[in-house]
Amino acid sequence: MKAFLRRNKQILLILAITLAFHILVGLLTKSYILMQKDSDSYSMFTQNIFLGQVNLMRTPLYPLFIMLVRLISFSPSGYIPIVIAQEIVSLISLVFMYKIIKRYTKNNKLIYAFSFIYSLQPTIWHWNKCILTESLSISLCVIFAWLLIQHIDKPKIWSAITIAIGSFLFIMLRPSFLALFAIIIGFWIVRFIFSKIDRKQSAIGFGISMVCLLLLFGYMHLNYLQNGLYGITNVESGNQIMNLVGGDIYQNPEYQDIVDSLIQSPYWSDKKDLLFALGWEPFSKQFGFNFTPKYISDYVSDTIKLHFSGYAKYTGEKFLKTVGYPISSIIPLSTPEEYLADINSGSYNSAENAKWQAITSSYWNINIINFLTFIVLPVPFIIVYIYLAWVLIYAIVKWAKGKLDWIDLGFSLIVIAQFVTFIISVPPYQYSRLLVPALPFLFVLVYKHITEGRFGWFNMKFTKTKAEGKG
């Protein structure tokens, strides 16, 4: 035991300080469990994917995680075990982030600095308290980033298989990871062409990815047979309806009944604050609408085609709006039950909700959480856009000169793909939250470039340790 402690004292100290900090600061929030609008659809999930049952709204991985935790903890409806499990998985992922950092530097000061900048950042750890997919997505992305680096350094068949299957499972956790799955398929092709040392592994990885692609099509076919939608979930349709309403391009005479359902909604006069409710209005049997998922999906696609120039213009406007958004993101309070009750009953009052938000945002504990979030990561989207463009261009230039930096190219594409996905798919108010799962890849890129000396202005004495390994 003493030998183990001595050999691993650095990471054990990092884990101990991180856990103590998470517990201490976590207790500052008003509620220990953070419930949001989507939480119930995960925690009350009833379909069994192993029996071929598909949920129209949610992919199965996070609900299965919740079910497993509740089974192990003998708590069939509890939420605290889920939060504890998410915290444990988060701490495990920190070990992998530590391994990534050590791969790039042996400088102990940098190792501690990078580890704590990541682990004490509320944007990373605060989601552990929330019953949404963000926490698990962040943690698994760290492990996936380590796996990719490990494979690039020492290509193995086991890592190729794990990467292929893992990228598919990400879609089952969060459909927005479909872009990651596509990038991994492209990775196998490019790797096969340009890396002679692991053509066998790349061929196997590509083959497994193709099998996973067939499984994805099988999942979509099950969704069609059971729910009438040939797709992964109907969330995309709901999000796009918000875009159509937000961009004032919702009119389509071929689907006048859906248009009427929007215009006649009790939320229509308050579109700016209630795009979420309007997005799901055509799905709502409670208000007398019973359109089939395929009909709604067809309305969305046909209306985008009908107003394509307006849709492109609105998407461009959404992109421009993001430049000043902070990449840091937290949910300091649970969505109040009365908010959801008012939404469901059609009696929501945005002025009253704004009043509640103003009162609760003045709480000292909430201000501390917000302060910690933005002081550690005070970076707007525009800085990230510039940085990613620089990384991608630099990687392409190096490639043209005969040296392909797989990490720079791959990780920048993964983060860019997440940006593109949510800018096209969802309204602006969700952007900071939806970027969260891609943050581990962004952290790794920044850490890598600091240790490589790419940031001349960051050239302090304690950072002068060049990156090690193959890159």
Q: Is the same domain home to 123 and 155? A: no
In a domain, 217, yes or no: yes
The confidence band for 288, taking pLDDT boundaries of 50, 70 and 90, is low
Answer whether residue 466 shows pLDDT above 80: no
Q: Is the same domain home to 204 and 247? A: no
In a domain, 433, yes or no: no
Q: Is the same domain home to 248 and 273? A: yes
| pLDDT tens sequence across 157-196 | 999 999 999 999 999 999 999 999 999 999 999 999 998 8
* Whole-number Å distance between alpha carbons of 2 and 410: 40
Answer whether residue 462 shows pLDDT above 50: no
Q: Is the same domain home to 29 and 104? A: yes
Q: Is the same domain home to 39 and 160? A: no
Q: Is the same domain home to 50 and 105? A: yes
- pLDDT over 70, % of the chain: 93
Which stretches within 8-121 are classed as H helix? 9-26, 39-43, 61-72, 80-104, 108-119
Given 109, 131, 153, which residue is the final one in a domain?
Answer: 131
The confidence band for 31, taking pLDDT boundaries of 50, 70 and 90, is low
In a domain, 196, yes or no: yes
Predicted confidence at residue 306, as pLDDT, reads 96
* Whole-number Å distance between alpha carbons of 300 and 240: 7
| pLDDT tens sequence across 232-254 | 999 999 999 999 999 999 999 99
Answer whether residue 459 shows pLDDT above 70: no
Range of the domain at 57: 1-131
Predicted confidence at residue 460, as pLDDT, reads 47
Q: How many residues does the chain have?
A: 471
Residue in 173, 188, 226 with CA at minimum distance from that of residue 53: 226
Q: Is the same domain home to 255 and 305? A: yes
In a domain, 336, yes or no: no
Number of domains in the chain: 3
| pLDDT tens sequence across 359-379 | 776 777 777 777 777 777 888
The confidence band for 127, taking pLDDT boundaries of 50, 70 and 90, is very high
> pTM for this one?
0.92
Q: Is the same domain home to 41 and 95? A: yes
Q: How many Cβ atoms from other residues are within 10 Å of residue 326's Cβ?
A: 15
The residue written with tokens 């047979």 in the block is 225
Predicted confidence at residue 38, as pLDDT, reads 86
Answer whether residue 310 shows pLDDT above 50: yes
Residue in 177, 138, 184 with CA at minimum distance from that of residue 159: 184
Q: Is the same domain home to 18 and 113? A: yes
Answer whether residue 397 shows pLDDT above 50: yes
CA 262 to mean position of chain CA atoms: 29
* Whole-number Å distance between alpha carbons of 282 and 241: 9
Q: How many Cβ atoms from other residues are within 10 Å of residue 156's Cβ?
A: 13
